[in-house]
Structure 1
């Protein structure tokens, strides 16, 4: 089976003049090498495709793959993570991870929280601020937490994200809107433990691999898991696999959110406990970082005794299983298992 790999390489964007922060979400060569090696070790043939322009060119030339392992983050706008999946959908090329609709939904943290809250899943009260002047009219109890509405890797999050009064709130909103050219999410600050839950699978087949607790070392910038703390995690952060009652509660809520948002195959859900001990949904990462050493999901798997190769294998198995279910609606589990390994994966 030929697996194409789509990705955005950080070095390419730095060479084009993007800053370290602007390129923070893109991948290093070690990530691509790790994914490719893990796939090849399980018998897959691989082909590096690269970013959207390379994918578009290859498709126009008639190139095809049995399935695409997509970790491309895209460029520009709230739908940037949806660009590669949308193009693959157009050409009916199957791919790993969530579809264009889910990726677009989950990138916008405000819209994501509306869906999660509508499903009855605990999440901190919030507001989306599009202009700094709107901050003066927010009626939520302080302290509040402020961050860009559509960034990852802790971009725009740091010590100044936690605000104590309306003056600090307005200043934070003005700074972030100007710097990142997008609205900001303002939400009630959650004072409890922070866990990230790793998930593989889709729908009712999804399961939690574990819950990683994020612990702030004495050298941490603040008690928020932001850009600086993530970038300098060796000095500023500690990670512990949580296996207590809180972890089980967090896993349950994380799976509810994963299914409600239509996420597929693998990723992470970030949770934080409120003062009453209730795990609250923070955000979901349907394209979670997959660096074999530095990314939260592989770190969690390592601590849970799950090898990197096994993680990639479970993600692939989820994608192949759901694609075969899609191609054979109503088939029994025995019929699905009996399909030959080279059975084409067809998209509706």
Structure 2
């Protein structure tokens, strides 16, 4: 098959003047090269498409692919991760990972929590601060609380000041998020326990947990929080440990799979969990479009610790997408223009 590859290249956006933090979710050339090779190692051809503007240009030229391997995070709006999948659906082109509804839902952390909580998944109490007026009136008085941007990933907007212990700190941090990120803040009960992430491969009833990894902060890390800086410099600040405690793995896997299925995630993803003071795990957030750098992103790191190689992970994602899609390869596995008789999907 000919597989198109959609992505946002970090360097391109930095050249446009965006900061390191603003481009934190985008990918390096190394990631794209590794992913390109991983798809080829699975027996497919690769056509690098690029970001959504490049995709629009190629679609207008009549280009089509048997499947698109989509890792584009998007740039604008709280539904930015959903934009390329929505465009591909408009052209009836199959793609990897979750659909527009799931991607938009999961990026809004409060919406995601509402859905998984309705499905019986444990999650700490939370509320949204969407104005400076609400920043002065915390509805939860049980400090400490944890505050972060509502619709960001990669630890953006998280540092040691995200944990607040009184109303003054609460007001200051909420105002910081509102001003700096131009979006609401989500506020949760702070959970002081251990932090885990669960990797998942597959879709629906075929989804399975592929490992539970504990995130351990080293002495030189920002304390107590899996912050943007700790994630960006994880090689120096974080120790990732595969959890082998059967009771924890079973609890974490059950919660993660419940959340993953409730939100409709597909092919692969990651679910973040944290323990309370008694060690009971709760859902924190889900990443249905997890990073895929082989040695820097959590999902490939977790898989490697559990004996699942990078090529096996990429092949598994593609296989999951194929199993749930009715894909008829284009002639010779190549792109075809709109007026070609083999292009009935457009």
Aligned counterpart, 1:184: 185
Instruction: Compute the displacement of 1:135 (Å).
Output: 2.8
Matched, 1:285 2:305: no
Structure of higher RCO (CA pairs closer than 8 Å, 6+ residues apart): 2
Aligned counterpart, 1:331: none
Q: 1:149 to 1:317 in 2, by over 3 A?
A: same
Instruction: Compute the displacement of 1:119 (Å).
Output: 1.2
Aligned counterpart, 1:110: 110
Q: Is the 8 A contact 1:94 1:347 kept in 2?
A: no
Distance 1:15 1:247 in 2: 43
Q: 1:248 to 1:346 in 2, by over 3 A?
A: farther
Unaligned runs of 5+ in 2: 334-341
Instruction: Compute the displacement of 1:73 (Å).
Output: 0.6
Distance 2:268 2:344 in 1: 21
Q: Is the 8 A contact 1:135 1:166 kept in 2?
A: no
1:56-89 Cα distance to aligned partner (Å, 9 max, x none):
0101111000000000011111110011001000
Aligned counterpart, 2:238: 237
Distance 1:130 1:99 in 2: 27
SS in 1 for 2:152: coil
Q: 1:286 to 1:346 in 2, by over 3 A?
A: farther
1:167-226 Cα distance to aligned partner (Å, 9 max, x none):
000000001110000000000001111000000101100000001100011111111101
SS in 1 for 2:136: helix
1:138-179 Cα distance to aligned partner (Å, 9 max, x none):
232110000000001100001000000010000000011100
Instruction: Compute the displacement of 1:6 (Å).
Output: 0.1
Out of 278, 296, 299, which is 1:297 matched to? 299
Instruction: Compute the displacement of 1:132 (Å).
Output: 2.7
SS in 2 for 1:208: strand
Aligned counterpart, 2:336: none
Tell me which moved more, 188-197 or 137-146.
Answer: 137-146
1:235-272 Cα distance to aligned partner (Å, 9 max, x none):
21111000211122011100000000000000100011
Matched, 1:94 2:83: no
SS in 2 for 1:276: coil
Matched, 1:268 2:270: yes
1:289-324 Cα distance to aligned partner (Å, 9 max, x none):
000110011111111011000000111110000114
Aligned counterpart, 1:172: 173
Instruction: Compute the displacement of 1:280 (Å).
Output: 0.5
Distance 1:276 1:16 in 2: 47
SS in 2 for 1:96: coil
Q: How many residues align?
A: 332
Distance 2:147 2:345 in 1: 40
Instruction: Compute the displacement of 1:233 (Å).
Output: 1.2
SS in 2 for 1:168: helix
Q: Is the 8 A contact 2:129 2:174 kept in 1?
A: yes
Distance 2:266 2:56 in 1: 24
Distance 1:122 1:285 in 2: 17
Aligned counterpart, 2:194: 193
RMSD: 1.7
Q: Normalized against structure 1, the TM-score is what? A: 0.93
Aligned counterpart, 2:216: 215
